[in-house]
Each structure stands twice: as structure tokens, then as C-alpha cells.
Amino acid sequence: MSHQFHSTVLREYDIRGIIGETLGPDDARAIGRSFGSMLREAGGTTVAVGYDGRVSSPTLEHALVEGLTASGCDVVRIGLGPTPMLYFAEASAEDVHGGIQITGSHNPANYNGFKMVFQGRPFFGADIQRLGERAAAGEWLDGAGSAEERDVFGDYIDRLLAGLDGIDRSSLEGLRVGWDAGNGAAGPALEALAARLPGEHHLLFTDVDGNFPNHHPDPTVEANLADLRALVAEKNLDFGVAFDGDGDRIGAIDGEGRVIWGDQLLMIYAEDCLARHPGATIIADVKASRALFERVEQCGGKPLMWKTGHSLIKSKMKETGSPLAGEMSGHVFFADDYYGYDDALYAGVRLIAAAARLGKSVTELRTAMPAMVNTPELRFQVDEERKFAAIEEVKARLADSPDDVDGTDGVRVTNSDGWWLLRASNTQDVLVARAESESEEGLARLVAQIDEQLELSGLERGESVGH
């Protein structure tokens, strides 16, 4: 017995594909066989398994559990819930050594996939490639593991609420917040959480529906925040919070309807965190605003710019002992009084806590941020075999540049106008560009520099493609 995966599904950070075309139950079974074998060889025996609200998820879950038990692993089935609930089940139980969440994250409804944790660390990159190699070779252990159902939902909600520990709850009674679950897997957990939070809470789209009938659950796309913005305006709420399809990425708007982007949320969290952890390292990805890195320094912290990708950021946090990290995409990681993984529900609670501790409303905190002008994330198609080579060409051309050139992840160039970034996506055949300045004129000059570099490598920026 062996199994060959479709060439497109083994990604850098997870496994993902189109149901019925590139991904199905046979793949799930093979993932279980390979992951289970690798875990047993590393001394583990038990895997927690959860799934999101996609129509295909229960079928994949059934096949995955078959594969895991056939490799000799025992399985703890936690059922439908957000990805961070699976992370919680793995991190908080001593008898669980790995975890797999079946989720298509923020992809369209016909996608699905798998996010994995291996003995407390992200399972990605070379791990995923090795899993594919073992499946192709049929290099599997045999066994007869058992499967049990475990209800972690209540413990998970209790743990989320602990994010308000130490805060006078009576001071929050006047709080009024809007929440949008986007029909994703976080809906039921959000309902249970909001029922126990102080203040008044207005919820949108908490019914789990894998067809996403109201809007696509990706809070990094401003159009998807329209319903939340309307709710905040209509009810005159303090702020609003939105989640992606599996609840590990947060989006937010303030009381005036302004988007609070991922790096801006991190500015709020960092100020709060550094008051209790002076001098700590705060990590953000290369797409984050210069204003964030400057704010971390102002608050006495050590800013660290790192590679984009939730698995890469989590690994860097462990390495540096950082209590807080985040990405432009809305992944926020709290190791400060939490487990160091990305949990948008917990991030929502911590936004309430940060505003309370800092003594300012979320709107006031957003207003105090420097006004930057920036491009959205520009993504454009380039041949898979060309994308990394093109970045290396840009780096070589800028080797003697008077500008500050950072090669942490792609090329980030800082000069008097601001900064621009060009990097290759690890998950798609696209290059990603972004630029930020304090003026429209400066921004135009930065974008022109991106265009010039692309042209020198025989590429055109052309039309930006979605993600």
C-alpha cells in the first residue's frame, strides 16, 4: 500500500486542495497513516482531531481517523470547532502528542485541507514533504489504535475568558461590541464566549454554513467587513471583530468604521504586553508597517521582522522567547499568558483587555496611530519556477543600493519615501508586493521602484490577482 498526493496539495504551512479534484478521503487516510507513523517513531501515541464547518469536513475526518488508528495511534475526536480549539486540545492535555484540524481556512467553499501540530510544535515545510515521501513509499507503521470522543468546548471557552483575568469586570459593563463569525467554524464558540463576556454583544452569522451564504470569511479583505461596519454604525458600538473561516485570524474595525489592520492590532497588543514584559521581543512579518516596529521600540520592546507564514512565526517565537507576534494577515500569537498559537477568539478577548488596561477606547488607540498611506497587498501571477529566481535577481541588483535592503523574506527596501516589499508566496505561483509611505507622492515613487525591478526581470505587475 502507498499513496501519491496531487502535486499541488502539499503546501509550505499545511495541506490544501479542491475537493473531488485534488483532495479526497484517500488523501486524508494517507495523511493519517504517515503522520501517525511519524508521531509513533518520535515517541507519541495520541492525536487530537477536529474539523471546520465545510460540507466535506466530516467525510475527511472519518478517513483521517481511519488512517491514524491504522498506524497504531489513538485518536481524541473533539468534533466541529475553530482551529484554535484543536490547538488548545493539543496544548492543554498531557496525554495528547499531536493534533490535526481539517480546515480550508479562508479558501472558497470547495477547498479543504489539514493544519497539523506535532509534539507541541508546528508541522510544516520539510515535515509535510517528508509526509508525502512516506505516503508515496508506503512507509507506514501498522497498528490498531482506538478512537474516543472528548468534549473540550467548555474548557476552551473558560480558557478564552481567562484573557480578562486581573481586570475589573464592572469597568467593562458599558462595553458594546459587534462580532462577525462569517458562518465559519468559530460561530458556536463565539456565542458561548459572548454570553459570558461583560458588556453588550451583537453577533452576526454564527450559524456554521460551509457554503458561506453571507460573505466570504476572510477579514483581511475590506469588502468582507461591510456587514460588521454597518452593524457598528447602526448600533453605535465601540468596535467590531471579525473572524476567518476557521477562527485563527482576526479582523477589526473601530467605532468610526475604520479598519484596524493586523499590524495596527499588534501595535495595541504590543503596548499592553510590553507594560508587563519590558524589553521583550515582539515579532511581526515583513509585510507589517514601519509604524509598528517604531511603536515597539517606543514602548521599550525589541522589534523583530520575520518571514511571513504562521508556522514560521510560531517557530521563531519559541526560538526567541517572544511573548507576542503577529502578521498582516490577522494571525496574532500570544505566548503571554497563553500557548503561543494563533487564536482569533482569544485575540478578541485580549483587545478588550488591552483597551481596559491602557485606559483608552479602541477608537482612541486607532486614532493615535500615525497616518500612513499604503498599497493593499498586491499579488500577481508568475511561473512557479520563476518566482524565487526573480527575487534573487532583485536582491543582486540592489546589492550596492544606498537604501536599506532587508532580505529576511524576499526584498524589503526602506528609504526616505518609506518602504516597499517584493516576496515570493510560499503557497501560490504569485509574487506579493506592498509599499507604504507618509505621502501619496512618496507611495507613487515606491511603487515605481517595484515596477522597475519587475521590468528588469522581464515581469509585469499587471492586474493584481486575489488570494
Q: Catalogue the active-site residues.
A: 105
Rounded CA separation 157/152 (Å): 9
Copy the grid coordinates of residue 430: 504569485
Copy the grid coordinates of residue 360: 483608552
**Best CA proximity match to 42, nearest among 174, 130, 102:** 130
CA angle 265, 267, 269 (to 5 degrees): 70
The 3-state DSSP composition of the chain as helix, strand, coil percent (nearest 5) reads 40, 25, 40
**Phi, psi (degrees; rounded to nearest 5) at 40:** -65, -40
3-class secondary structure, 433:
strand
Rounded CA separation 175/261 (Å): 21
Q: How far is CA 231 from the centre of its chain?
A: 25
CA angle 327, 328, 333 (to 5 degrees): 25
**Phi, psi (degrees; rounded to nearest 5) at 229:** -60, -40
Q: Are 135 and 2 in contact (CB under 8 A)?
A: yes
Q: Are 311 and 159 in contact (CB under 8 A)?
A: no
Rounded CA separation 357/277 (Å): 14
Rounded CA separation 156/158 (Å): 5
First to last CA, the chain: 36
The dihedral built from the CA positions of residue 388, 390, 393 and 397, taken in this order, carries a sign that is: negative
Pairing of the two strands 324-326 and 281-285? parallel
Copy the grid coordinates of residue 200: 453588550
Copy the grid coordinates of residue 231: 452593524
Identify how many contiguous H helices and E strands the chain contains and give both numbers.
14, 22
Strand partners, 392: none
Rounded CA separation 464/376 (Å): 10
Rounded CA separation 339/448 (Å): 42
